Amino acid sequence: MSNVRYKALELAISRPKRTVTLPSNKVSDYYGSLTFNKAVMREYLSKEAYDKLISVIEKGDKIDRRIADQVATALKSWAISKGATHYTHWFHPLTGATAEKHDAFMVPTATGKAIEEFSSIQLIQQEPDASSFPSGGIRNTFEARGYTAWDPSSTAFIMDDTLCIPTIFVSYTGESLDYKTPMLKALHALDKEAVAVCKYFDRNVNKVYATLGWEQEYFLVDTALYHARPDMALSGRSLFGHASAKDQQLSDHYFGTIPERVVDFMTEFEYEAHRLGIPVKTRHNEVAPSQFECAPVFEEVNMAVDHNQLVMHIMEKVARRHNLTVLLHEKPYHGINGSGKHNNWSFMTNTGDNLLSPGKTPKSNLRFLSFLVNILKAVDTYADLMRMAIASASNDLRLGAHEAPPAIMSVFIGSQLTETLDAIEKGSARDQAVNGTFDDVAIDIPKIPEILLDNTDRNRTSPFAFTGNKFEFRAVGSSMNCAKPMIVLNLIVADQLRQFREEVDALIAKGTAAEDAIYRIIRKYIKESKRVRFEGNSYSAEWIDEAKKRGLSNISSTPDAVKVMIEESVISLFERHNVLTRREMIARYEINLENYIKKLQIESRVIGDLATNHIIPTAIQYQNTLIENVRGLKEVLDNKTFVRLSNNQMLNIKEISEHISIIRTLVNEMVDARKAANKFEDAPQKAAVYKDTVLPYFDKIRYHVDKLEFLVDDEVWPLPKYRELLFIK
């Protein structure tokens, strides 16, 4: 059998077991061993340099040259002791992936020998030729240089034989060309504004850092089968494929026993992650067959984002050793659940409090409610920006598909908090109360029961849910860089907190007692943001109508979702907090659209190619067999019997011919539509034309191809089928 699919299947079925033995079953023996963590710093740095570096990391102080020299020397010695031969600046360009360019420590000497060298100059800044990274027109080719600059707040690590130094990436003219730069700025804005609000409650708070715990969903597929599917190899998802008779309908995969081959992969991948100091902790089967999830213990956002980027990379690397391929695409299979990346997000203070933990005293309750209600208000004001933060061609396929949150941004807070907010909204004696102080507990805030923590997370359909002591942004796509949603969430809340403080201070200036002023503004915000709260089933059709009545947007496509980036109010929001400039916003807007266009263009080409040189020839081949058979019948049967018995086969031949002919026509039309779309110069217009005139062909063509898959002899069908791809053995 020359059929590629059968060969791939044979390979996939006969995989020898790869046994994984770890050096120790105690993770603590090797956790963080490939990171330049505090313990290593202490060992390799003088006390002075160590203290200084810690304050650079924790307080954002500037580092001086002398200390940087010491850090560079320490990094070099440590990395070489771990077997590293190269170093690289490691950054997150706007491709969504990570980037690195390795240089050897080796420098030849005049005597014909070589020494190992790594100085503070190489640590602090590099100047890669970065002309091929997306810049949205910011970087002219004659200024092809970009700068990478050390981010000391993220831990350096060793990957294979290379010391990796996390960096930001900016253009020659200073514009950011990565995800990290604006994210660090947004986190800084959040810190500043949250600390200012905390001062109402606790003078000891001088640092607030946002925390992130991501939950990464992914699919695994045997590598041989994956490579026999050009659509998956080129676009990350299956563009054709008849549904498998059995897929997820029995819910027998969810939390089921993890297949042995997958456990081996997970064990090895977790080992690699742990050595890199990535605190992955949870693993389980997800809803769809061959879909899995991994989640770490939460960390400070910048660290967590770097770790998620690394995890996606390590997963792919380790999977290959097990002849598995990781699919991070949001919707690898039609008709089956897609993958998301829940972003669990909260704020911690330097005093060790979680600001989203309901308090025990009236004072801490009021602080909790202040943060909670400001977040509600921020989501209501900037819902479209949150929608933008999760927009991509691939996530468009998943959002609102009855398995993932819809494209309508709403917040779920649970029934008890709803009651609390309702009670505050109705108000009571509190409105007349004056001159109260925190300590005389005149506050009329309904008591928030402590069982709240266990009671909130009952609604899995909300895109943004309060789950006890954190918010969970569930609409984030599985392949995305978490920095995107983290920039938006931290920025909009920072801005909202600033507004809150202005309004509270204005009341205080007029003589209102602080906690009374806070209470009043909270109450106002509860009313103003009420429409964004939704406790019901977000997957239901009724919610779509209801949301429309409430005036909430429901933006179904990326070209529409990214428009908000160039709205004046949004540009000024980003500029107000020094996160992105107008020029940078416009550039990112263009990059998003370009990316969308290119993704659709690739998929459209793959569909055309596969339909034309895989599907149609196969269908014709089978059709010829049927025709031969009918001819043979005619020879051996008398005419009457022939007419009676060949009837079904004739219908079959006709049916196949119809599908072939329709596929041909549709592919031609799609190619014409694509050519017409490519003529547009203007990115927003081109993206819209792609969406409106090219994209609709994908499902139409697929329909007929999938029918053929069902009709044509299994032995000649060239593409691995869903039932083969989905069940890992």
Tell which one of 181, 308, 346, 478 touches ligand ADP (CB under 6 A): 346
Distance CA 80, CA 566 (A): 47
Contact segment (CB under 6 A) with ligand ADP among 208-216, 494-502, 678-686, 711-719 equals 208-216
Strand-strand pairing, 471-473 and 464-466: antiparallel
Task: Determine, following the binding rule CB under 5 A, whether residue 342 of this chain makes contact with Mg ion.
Answer: yes
Task: Determine, following the binding rule CB under 6 A, whether residue 704 of this chain makes contact with ligand ADP.
Answer: no
Q: What's the min distance (Å) between Cβ of 292 and ligand ADP?
A: 13
Q: What's the min distance (Å) between Cβ of 473 and ligand ADP?
A: 11
* Cβ-based nearer residue to ligand ADP, 290 or 344: 344
Tell which one of 345, 574, 596, 717 touches ligand ADP (CB under 6 A): 345
Strand-strand pairing, 291-296 and 280-285: antiparallel
Within 8 A by CB and 6+ apart from 366, the residues are 201, 359, 438, 443, 445, 515, 518, 519, 522
* Stretch (H or E) spanning 414: none
Task: Determine, following the binding rule CB under 6 A, whether residue 201 of this chain makes contact with ligand ADP.
Answer: no
Distances (CA, A) of 639 to 465, 630, 634, 646, 647: 70, 12, 7, 10, 12
CA triple 601-606-610, angle to 5 deg: 155
Q: What's the min distance (Å) between Cβ of 238 and ligand ADP?
A: 26
Task: Determine, following the binding rule CB under 6 A, whether residue 213 of this chain makes contact with ligand ADP.
Answer: yes
Among ligand ADP, Mg ion, none, residue 382 binds (CB under 5-8 Å by kind): none
Task: Determine, following the binding rule CB under 6 A, whether residue 469 of this chain makes contact with ligand ADP.
Answer: yes
* Cβ-based nearer residue to Mg ion, 323 or 479: 479
125 DSSP β-pair partners:
149
Helix (H, G, I), strand (E, B) or coil at 381: helix
Among Mg ion, ligand ADP, none, residue 170 binds (CB under 5-8 Å by kind): none
Tell which one of 95, 354, 581, 625 touches ligand ADP (CB under 6 A): 354
What number of chain residues touch Mg ion (CB under 5 A)? 1
Spell out, one character per residue from 84 to 123, where the chain touches ligand ADP: x when CB under 6 A holds, - when not: ----------------------------------------
Q: What's the min distance (Å) between Cβ of 683 and Mg ion?
A: 35
Tell which one of 298, 333, 382, 574 touches ligand ADP (CB under 6 A): 298
Q: What's the min distance (Å) between Cβ of 396 and ligand ADP?
A: 23
DSSP string, 146-183: EEEEE-TTS--EEETTEEEEEEEEEETTS-B-BSHHHH
Contact segment (CB under 6 A) with ligand ADP among 50-58, 71-79, 292-300, 704-712 equals 292-300
HSE-CB for 705 with a 13 A CA cutoff: 30
Task: Determine, following the binding rule CB under 6 A, whether residue 295 of this chain makes contact with ligand ADP.
Answer: yes
Distance CA 478, CA 338 (A): 9
N residues, the chain? 729
CA-based nearest residue to 717, from 621, 627, 628, 652: 621
Distance CA 590, CA 584 (A): 10
Tell which one of 151, 178, 191, 215 touches ligand ADP (CB under 6 A): 215
Tell which one of 229, 237, 367, 470 touches ligand ADP (CB under 6 A): 470
487-546 residues in contact with Mg ion (CB under 5 A) are: none
The token duo for 98 is 């990570």
Distance CA 193, CA 532 (A): 23
What is the binding site for Mg ion (CB under 5 A)?
Answer: 342
What is the binding site for ligand ADP (CB under 6 A)?
Answer: 211-213, 215, 295-298, 342, 344-346, 354, 467, 469-470
